[in-house]
């Protein structure tokens, strides 16, 4: 038991450090290239390869983790992120769209290798001690990660103003490299490695529950990124006149709060599940609740309510409901997976997760540039409704002690 907790803490610590750099680089790229004069759609396109290669990485990463071990795939992800950060420290003249997209592609591969490895490791480390423990551990890992990603937004915005774009990247790269060395030394080898070498064709799930959940996940995460990635920060700077630090701080606190709610999800909804993890009904219920908020924000703004007040309060409520949705999904993918195939199932599941982020990111820039923030919010509500309808295909879980 002590060894399991030690390994869980090492995995979580490495995931935390990586997540801060991931949030920071996202904020740095959005704000810095907006200041350089890029349009919202051009800024969104900088993340095209980041999300696209995340899809590919999740497909291949789970299979790779099953063959060489999740500890290795996690460390490979950290090393690639260090390289991606270093690539962006070149002079402005070198920072063409194609070059930045290539650096972001590397960062996308790194992020999804790290995330898949960390989350799949929780299933292995938790063992067979019941769904309740698994729900708590994965909720804490995912929730704390999102809280720190919000911290990364803040760190990125502050470093951009304090030490500049390149100075910020250098600080982040050096810190992550130090964490990489520590986790490589302390984490045992072979975590999640299958005894028999799986074939690549085995990465495609044949479990209906995982396929339905993956499809729902695509639209769930698309619903967030369609307004969050480009539309919101650009709107706050251009329309409301917020400073860069103010935008970074708000988005940081939003994600931090979202992460805390996600980590607290087992306590918030445990009474309705009698000590067991949530099931398919919870996924449906919370998706329908979530769909109300983007539409409500638009309707309130159209009624002439104060824009900033409606937007900030509405997105806080959206964040709470989204956090519970995400926690339920993150638990269900592990609960539906067998121990031997968990890394491949998690990798397959996060492939549409990355696809949803890709669609949301591109649409965030395109729809905002053509129709504005309200259109992005309507699209968000529609995406959540589709996620809710797809979750009707999810089976109930069998209870374990």
**Is pLDDT at 327 greater than 70 in this prediction?**
yes
Residues 6 or more apart in contact with residue 30 via CB below 8 angstroms: 43, 229, 230, 233, 234
Q: How many domains does the chain have?
A: 1
In a domain, 156, yes or no: yes
Give the structural domain span for 231: 2-393
DSSP character string of 300-322:
HHHTT--HHHHHHHHHHHHHHHH
In a domain, 326, yes or no: yes
pLDDT on residue 300: 94
In a domain, 126, yes or no: yes
- Residues 241-253 pLDDT 10s: 888 778 878 888 8
Residues 6 or more apart in contact with residue 257 via CB below 8 angstroms: 147, 150, 316, 319, 320
Q: What is the mean pLDDT of the chain?
A: 82
**Sign of the torsion formed by the C-alpha atoms of 35, 40, 42 and 44:** positive
**Is pLDDT at 401 greater than 50 in this prediction?**
no
In a domain, 400, yes or no: no
- Residues 152-204 pLDDT 10s: 888 888 888 888 889 999 999 999 999 999 888 887 665 545 555 555 555 55
pLDDT on residue 400: 38
Burial 240-266 (b: 16+ CB within 10 A, else e): eebebeebbbbbbbbbbbbbbbbbbbb
In a domain, 329, yes or no: yes
Q: Quick one: pLDDT band at residue 284, thresholds 50, 70, 90? A: very high
In a domain, 22, yes or no: yes
- Residues 360-369 pLDDT 10s: 988 998 999 8
In a domain, 398, yes or no: no
In a domain, 399, yes or no: no
**Is pLDDT at 14 greater than 70 in this prediction?**
yes
∠ at Cα 18 (16, 23), nearest 5°?
95
pTM equals 0.70
Residues 6 or more apart in contact with residue 6 via CB below 8 angstroms: none
For residue 130, give the CATH number of its domain: 1.20.1250.20
């Amino acid at each position: 038991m002590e060894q399991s907790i030690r390994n869980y803490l090492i995995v979580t610590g490495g995931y935390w450090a990586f997540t801060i750099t991931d949030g920071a680089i996202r904020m740095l790229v959005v704000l810095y290239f907006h200041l350089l004069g890029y349009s919202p759609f051009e800024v969104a396109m900088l993340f095209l390869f980041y999300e696209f290669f995340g899809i590919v990485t999740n497909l291949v990463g789970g299979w790779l983790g099953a063959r060489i071990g999740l500890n290795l795939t996690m460390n490979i992800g950290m090393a690639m992120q260090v390289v991606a950060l270093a690539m962006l420290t070149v002079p402005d003249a070198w920072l063409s769209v194609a070059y930045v997209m290539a650096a972001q592609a590397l960062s996308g591969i790194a992020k999804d290798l790290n995330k898949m490895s960390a989350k799949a490791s929780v299933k292995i480390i938790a063992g067979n001690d019941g769904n309740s423990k698994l729900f708590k551990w994965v909720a804490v890992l995912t929730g704390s990660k999102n809280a720190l990603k919000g911290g990364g937004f803040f760190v990125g915005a502050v470093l951009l103003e304090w030490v500049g774009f390149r100075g910020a990247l250098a600080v982040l790269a050096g810190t992550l490299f130090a964490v990489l060395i520590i986790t490589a030394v302390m984490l045992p080898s072979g975590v999640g490695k299958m005894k028999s070498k799986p074939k690549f064709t085995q990465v495609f799930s044949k479990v209906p529950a995982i396929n339905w959940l993956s499809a729902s996940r695509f639209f769930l995460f698309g619903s967030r990124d369609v307004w969050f990635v480009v539309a919101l920060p650009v709107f706050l700077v251009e329309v409301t006149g917020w400073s860069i630090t103010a935008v970074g701080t708000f988005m940081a606190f939003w994600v931090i709060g979202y992460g805390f709610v996600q980590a607290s999800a087992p306590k918030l909804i445990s009474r309705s599940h009698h000590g067991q993890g949530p099931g398919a009904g919870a996924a449906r219920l919370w998706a329908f609740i979530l769909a109300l908020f983007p539409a409500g924000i638009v309707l309130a703004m159209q009624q002439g309510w104060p824009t900033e007040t409606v937007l900030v309060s509405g997105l806080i409520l959206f964040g709470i409901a989204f956090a519970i949705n995400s926690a339920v999904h993150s638990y269900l993918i592990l609960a539906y997976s067998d121990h031997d195939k968990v890394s491949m199932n998690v990798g397959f599941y996060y492939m549409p997760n990355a696809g949803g982020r890709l669609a949301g990111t591109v649409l965030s820039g395109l729809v905002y540039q053509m129709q504005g923030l309200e259109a992005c919010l309507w699209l968000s509500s529609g995406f959540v409704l589709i996620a809710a309808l797809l979750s009707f295909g999810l089976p109930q879980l069998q209870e374990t002690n």
